[in-house]
Every structure is written in C-alpha cells, then in structure tokens.
C-alpha cells in the first residue's frame, strides 16, 4: 500500500517519521515492541545500500522519488497514456534528478526542453550557462521554439549582462551553431544508469547514492555462507556498536570504561 501511494504522492514528513519509527523498532526490538525502541546504529546508515555499508532498508524519500520518475519517463516514451499531456505528480527535485539521469537525442526537437534536458553534447544549457539561465523568464520552452529565429536570444534583450554572463552566452551561442534538427525524426531519450538505457526504479534509487562512500568493506559479510543473524552480528561488530562494557559505559557517559572483548559476550 505505501508503494502505490508513493508512486503518486510524496510522503508527508509525519507519515515518514511514523513508518520509520515502526521499522526501527521492529528491526532492533522485534514485533512485540515495535513502538519506538533504542537503535544500535543510526537510521541513515541502516537505510544505505549494503554495498555502501548499510543494511539495504529502503530510504522512503529516495524510494518515493525513484518511483515518481516513472511518470517523467513514460511522458517521453508512451504517448498513449490517458494522462498524456497533463501535469505529472513530480516536484522540482524529481525533475532535476530525471534531467541528470537522462540524455536526449534531438530529432524534430518538439519534446525536448531547451534549458532543462541534456540534449546539447549530453549537457543541459541551464548547466552550461547557469547565470544566463537566471535571466530567462520562459524556462520551459522546447528546443524547436527557442531555436526558431533565435528566439532564445530575443528573450535576453534589454538585460543587463555581467562579465560572467557574457562569457556563458558566447560559449552557449557557439555550441548551438552545430545543432541540426531532423524534421521527420522524433526526439529520443536514454537512461544513464542501466545497461539497456531504459529507466528502472532500482537504478533511479541507487543513482541517489552516487558519490557516497563506505567506511568498511562489507561485501564478504553478505556473501558468507552463514545464518542471517550471524551476518547481522558481524555487521554490528564492524560498526563498533556491540553492547560490550566499553560501549555500554560510553552510552552511560563514563570516561574510563573497563575494556572488554567480544569474546566475553
């Protein structure tokens, strides 16, 4: 049920906190005490993918965004949807992630957004000329509309340009001189994060962790031929969160705890 909800609506902060509270408690305290509880490892770490040092529990915000990107993908690839042409339930952050995850190949340029889509040498003009983009009022026009009679230049008339804006404007103008449209071909789009270049929810979810790093190499833990509870124990161990005397003393606020090894447990 939450998955179907998240496909359309962003999850309210109070709902996300309530669900995460139940999930945290169930993980650390069990079904009978799923009402709060104490966490050995912080929730942001738990909700990271396993290859990045977490337990792979879904981050609801990132999962919700990955689901909603399907609307933007189908808006491009399937014109037969009954909602085609209507506003899709995606916010600005969703659109930014989608634009960063796709590359557009121009045809007749009637679907590609001039400023937002990555159609110019794999880049979006708003990223190539961010200071010029600030001066634009109509930011959602298509490539065809803006290139027709250099309409994108006319919208910038009577603007006060700084040195940086002039440099960006000239650089963008030079790049646009090599643009050639194909009247009989429809614009196409490809997804960056999958081998077949087609959108998937899982790849959209993992793309939101790009740039993250792991503190420990944990791949051997999950590949080990052992019971899951043993793998979890080892994972908690490398987080230095086992309830040994030193960690218990640290939680209690003592400065000089008595050392105790894992073997004493």
Q: Are residues 81 and 1 in the same domain?
A: yes
Question: Looking at the domain assignment, is residue 70 inside a domain?
Answer: yes
Looking at the structure, tell me whether residues 176 and 231 fall in a common domain.
no
pLDDT at 259 over 50: no
Query: Do 126 and 254 fall into the same domain?
Result: no
pLDDT at 32: 65
**pLDDT tens, residue by residue, 199-233:** 999 999 999 999 888 777 888 888 889 999 899 99
- Please check the confidence at residue 160 and state whether its pLDDT lies above 80: no
What proportion of the chain, given as a percentage, has pLDDT over 90? 44
Instruction: Indicate if the pLDDT at residue 243 is higher than 60.
Output: yes
Range of the domain at 126: 107-186
Please state the three-class secondary structure of 19-85 as a single string.
HHHHHHHHHHHCHHHCCCCCCCCCHHHHCCCHHHCCCCCCCHHHHHHHHHHHHHHHHHHCCCCCCCC
Work out how many domains the chain is built from and give that number.
3
**Any domain includes 95:** no
Kindly tell me if the per-residue pLDDT of 157 is higher than 80. no
70 shares a domain with 118: no
- Band (pLDDT 50/70/90 cuts) for residue 238 is confident
pLDDT grade, residue 196 (50/70/90)? very high
Give the rounded percent of residues in the chain with a pLDDT score beyond 70. 90
**Whether residues 206 and 224 fall in one domain:** no
d(CA 70, CA 6) in angstroms, rounded, equals: 12
Residue 151's Cα: distance from chain center in Å?
33
Residue 5 has pLDDT above 90, yes or no: no
* Pair (111, 168) in one structural domain: yes
Q: Decide if 230 is inside a domain.
A: yes
């Amino acid at each position: 049920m939450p998955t179907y909800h998240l496909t359309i609506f962003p999850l309210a902060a109070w709902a996300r906190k309530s669900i995460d509270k139940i999930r945290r408690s169930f993980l650390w305290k069990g079904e009978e005490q799923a009402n709060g509880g104490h966490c050995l490892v912080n929730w942001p770490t738990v909700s990271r993918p396993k290859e990045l040092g977490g337990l792979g529990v879904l981050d609801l915000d990132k999962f919700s965004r990955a689901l909603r990107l399907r609307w933007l993908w189908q808006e491009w690839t399937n014109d037969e949807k009954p909602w085609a042409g209507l506003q899709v339930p995606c916010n600005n952050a969703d659109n930014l992630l989608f634009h960063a995850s796709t590359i557009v190949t121009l045809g007749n340029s009637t679907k590609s957004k001039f400023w937002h889509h990555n159609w110019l040498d794999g880049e979006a003009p708003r990223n190539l000329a961010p200071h010029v983009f600030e001066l634009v009022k109509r930011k959602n026009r298509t490539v065809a509309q803006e290139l027709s009679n250099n309409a994108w230049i006319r919208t910038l008339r009577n603007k006060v340009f700084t040195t940086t804006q002039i440099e960006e404007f000239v650089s963008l103008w030079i790049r646009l001189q090599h643009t050639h449209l194909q009247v009989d071909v429809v614009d196409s789009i490809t997804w960056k994060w999958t081998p077949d270049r087609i959108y998937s929810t899982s790849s959209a979810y993992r793309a939101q962790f790009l740039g993250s790093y792991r503190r420990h190499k944990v791949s051997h833990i999950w590949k080990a031929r052992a019971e899951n509870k043993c793998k979890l124990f080892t994972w908690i161990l490398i987080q230095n969160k086992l309830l040994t005397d030193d960690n218990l003393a640290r939680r209690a606020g003592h400065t000089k705890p008595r050392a105790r090894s894992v073997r004493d447990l």
